[in-house]
Amino acid sequence: MKDLNRLKVVLAEKKRTNKWLAEQLGKNVTTVSKWCTNSSQPDLQTLDKIAELLECDTRVLITSKYATEL
């Protein structure tokens, strides 16, 4: 299965952890871990909040095409 999000990559680039993101969102660390391994996906509202917290465009979390453009 193809990865649907780049959350793990962007967290590493921003020097943030799954635990930090889980705390910021009020989510379980296991949930965030599943997002990072692409075994499940956050809803669009949560994805927007993640982008806000990581100070990046939401598109960067979805595809690498925008990672260098934005």
Whether 13 contacts 55, CB under 8 Å: no
26-43 pLDDT, tens digit per residue, is: 999 999 999 999 999 999
Q: How far apart are CA 31 and CA 40, in angstroms?
A: 8
Of the pLDDT bands very low, low, confident and very high (cuts 50, 70, 90), residue 44 is very high
Torsion sign (Cα): 14, 15, 21, 24: negative
Q: What does pLDDT average to over the chain?
A: 91
Say what the pLDDT of residue 31 is. 98
Give the mean pLDDT of 54-67: 84
20-41 burial, b at 16+ Cβ within 10 Å, e below that, comes to: ebbeeeeeeeebbbebbeeeee
Specify the pLDDT at position 2: 73
| Of 4 and 34, the one with more pLDDT | 34
